Amino acid sequence: MLDVSLSGSNFIGSSPSADGAERIRASARQDGRPLEPEFIFATPEEVAEAARKAAAAFPVYASLTSEARASFLEAIASGIERLGDPLIERAHAESGLPLARLTGERGRTCGQLRMFAALIREGSWVDARIDLAQPDRAPVPKPDIRRMLMPIGPVAVFGASNFPLAFSVAGGDTASALASGCPVIVKGHPAHPGTSEMVARAILAAAEASGMPDGVFSLVHGGAEVGRELVERPEIEAVAFTGSRTAGRALYNLAAARPRPIPVFAEMGSVNPLFVLPGALAERGEAISKGYADSLVMGVGQFCTNPGILIGIDGEAFESMLWSVAAKLGEVAPGTMLTDAICERYDQGVAAWSQHSSLTALFFNENRAAPALFSTSAEHFLQRPELAEELFGPGAIAVRCQDFDELVAVAQALHGQLTASVHRSDADDESLAALLPVLAGIAGRVVVDGFPTGVEVCPSMQHGGPYPATTDSRSTSVGTAAIFRFVRPVAFQNLPNRFLPAELQDGNPRGIWRLIDGTLQR
Ligand code: NAP
């Protein structure tokens, strides 16, 4: 087992550092008991030192072999596993998430690290393109041009509150950035500082054992101020964030206002509309109701893919589905939310819905974090844009449309989404064909006859979408394609073979897939 004692320090590269005066202490979500120790927020000097170390580590780390980086990622995964039960218990105390869920999340976290290790070991992800010289070409000779993806530089990662392992210190952002060859500085989420330190120690132990340069990884604790300092450091080349639109947009604006702007990949959640077409409703309305209610309340609704808007065509079948969902919500035991602030925001949001002149309550009570279902007409929904905003938690609004045209109008009016789902039967083919292009136009992932929660981690996954789901719809934060956020293409023209990266050299020493004179070959 790895050492799981906690110091409350920041880790500036491999050095523990606790110069600051401001500090926080986590408390157990279940009973409010304060948890040891206090965690010290990083000072501006500590943030600057972490950034300088990352910049110094970058050329060394980026020039390591893929094998060395892959082994480092695998060592991190093994280290996290060796943290054992204390990691799961600390994450449970800090987040209130069930032990079984966190055990699964640890498996996902380690699986992601190993997935990126396999990706870079295979190597073809660098998208090598080679156009061989044609010295005799008329009227001008063609130069030799060779292009591939190269790491962008130090990346600032903001841990998310709702996945203390899989979207936090060693989560998908860190794994994909380290895989690409970028050093990482994580700003831990203040809701789970102990979990963050444990995982950071596993990363640093793996870095030392694998001979990685000091500064390849740092962890700083802090709030919005520390986050701002980090994004403003000139050494930082990209930012990865998961959380609220307010914070994600603030960081995006900050990065754009730097003397030298940098990309920000902020995943800010969405309402994930779920459409039920009439054929599906007639065929299996009850099963869809059950699946929908389960998806809505899963994890007390604290998923960015939570299906917060349910859309169907008004009539007996949809009415009966809504009451069936409402009945199922009534059977749900109250849950503990991730933080008091998230719970208060949710409870206030539901209370506001209960007072809203365009909404009718189908299921609502004033218990903390209780599920809720309200309904409205499409006409009102289209007139009141606030009803299409995310409310983080197990609450939903059902939209009753008069006909299919109105249902399409609702889809068209929605802003960018991580997911859009549709339930259909063969009787709905014509409607589905008309709806699909609209859904693909607003969402990063279109789910058919399923529910959006439970994001598969695999090469084909797209977890991103048009603004405000993310600040860059061309990217994903889940799956192997997440690595493309932290690279940029570089073309070498007429560079002698011995100076080229192995991926671009004659003879293909890495044995990767390459596009040579327009033909993909190995
Ligand atoms: P958050 O407010 O977005 O905070 C995320 C991180 O950003 C925290 O470390 C926070 O530090 C920092 N931060 C906040 N405002 C900032 C600013 N203006 N400039 C720089 N950094 C800033 O997320 P949260 O605390 O986890 O939850 C709040 C809400 O975020 C939820 O109610 C939900 O709506 C949304 N959320 C969305 C997702 C998603 O999957 N997209 C996940 C979790 C939460 P401090 O905490 O110290 O301010």
Alpha-carbon gap, residue 398 to 396, rounded angstroms: 7
CB neighbour class for 492 (10 Å; exposed up to 12, middle 13-18, buried from 19): middle
Asked whether the beta carbons of 239 and 156 are under 8 A apart, the reply is: yes
Alpha-carbon gap, residue 263 to 404, rounded angstroms: 40
Q: Domains plus CATH for the chain?
A: 11-22+41-268+472-485 (3.40.605.10), 274-448 (3.40.309.10)
Q: What is the pLDDT of residue 1?
A: 60
Question: CA distances (Å), 402 to each of 314, 383, 413, 439, in order?
Answer: 6, 15, 16, 19
Cβ-proximal residues to 88 (8 Å cutoff; 6+ apart), any chain: 99, 102, 103, 106
Phi and psi at residue 138, to the nearest 5°: -110, 145
| Amino acid found at 270 | S
CA of 243 to the centre of ligand 1 (A): 4
Alpha-carbon gap, residue 339 to 259, rounded angstroms: 36
Paired sense of beta strands 184-187 and 217-220, if any: parallel
Q: Which of 61, 80, 82, 10 is nearest to 178 (CA)?
A: 61
According to DSSP H, which parts of 414-522 are helical? 429-442
Among 161, 162, 225, 391, which is best to mutate for testing ligand 1, by the most ligand atoms less than 8 A from CB? 161
Q: What is the pLDDT of residue 483?
A: 98
Residue whose Cα lies nearest atom 14 of ligand 1: it is 247
Entry field: residues in the chain? 522
Alpha-carbon gap, residue 57 to 10, rounded angstroms: 18
Question: CA distances (Å), 411 to each of 39, 311, 351, in order?
Answer: 45, 9, 26
Q: Known catalytic residue: 304?
A: yes
CA of 164 to the centre of ligand 1 (A): 13
Residue whose Cα lies nearest atom 7 of ligand 1: it is 247
DSSP 304-339: TT---EEEEE-SHHHHHHHHHHHHHHHTPPP---S-
Q: What is the pLDDT of residue 2?
A: 62
CA of 244 to the centre of ligand 1 (A): 5
| Catalytically annotated residue among 46, 49, 267, 390 | 267
Work out which ligand 1 atom sits closest to the CA atom of 270.
41
Ligand 1 neighbours by CB, cut-off 6 Å: 158, 160-162, 187, 189-190, 223-224, 227-228, 242-244, 247, 250-251, 267-269, 304, 342, 345, 392
Alpha-carbon gap, residue 310 to 328, rounded angstroms: 15
CA of 247 to the centre of ligand 1 (A): 6
Work out which ligand 1 atom sits closest to the CA atom of 187.
9
Paired sense of beta strands 23-24 and 39-40, if any: antiparallel
Q: What is the pLDDT of residue 63?
A: 97
CA of 71 to the centre of ligand 1 (A): 32
CB neighbour class for 172 (10 Å; exposed up to 12, middle 13-18, buried from 19): buried
Alpha-carbon gap, residue 93 to 38, rounded angstroms: 15
Paired sense of beta strands 309-313 and 360-363, if any: unpaired
Alpha-carbon gap, residue 257 to 264, rounded angstroms: 12
Among 244, 306, 455, which is best to mutate for testing ligand 1, by the most ligand atoms less than 8 A from CB? 244
Alpha-carbon gap, residue 491 to 183, rounded angstroms: 23
Residue whose Cα lies nearest atom 42 of ligand 1: it is 243
Alpha-carbon gap, residue 190 to 283, rounded angstroms: 47
Phi and psi at residue 418, to the nearest 5°: -70, -40
Residue whose Cα lies nearest atom 9 of ligand 1: it is 189
What is the three-class DSSP state of 11? strand
Q: What is the pLDDT of residue 5?
A: 85
Question: CA distances (Å), 83 to each of 5, 75, 79, 418, in order?
Answer: 10, 12, 6, 33
| Catalytically annotated residue among 110, 182, 304, 343 | 304
CA of 228 to the centre of ligand 1 (A): 13
Beta strands in 170-294 (DSSP E): 184-187, 217-220, 238-242, 264-267, 273-276
Paired sense of beta strands 372-377 and 360-363, if any: antiparallel
Q: What is the pLDDT of residue 4?
A: 73
Q: Known catalytic residue: 267?
A: yes
Work out which ligand 1 atom sits closest to the CA atom of 225.
20
Alpha-carbon gap, residue 306 to 300, rounded angstroms: 10
10-residue stretch averages of pLDDT, the chain, 522 residues long? 83 98 95 96 98 98 98 98 98 98 98 98 98 97 98 98 98 98 98 98 98 98 98 98 98 98 96 98 98 98 98 98 98 94 98 98 96 98 97 98 98 98 98 98 98 96 98 98 98 98 98 98 95
Residue whose Cα lies nearest atom 8 of ligand 1: it is 189
Report which secondary-structure segment, H or E, holds 397.
Answer: strand 395-401
Q: Which of 266, 270, 310 is nearest to 288 (CA)?
A: 310
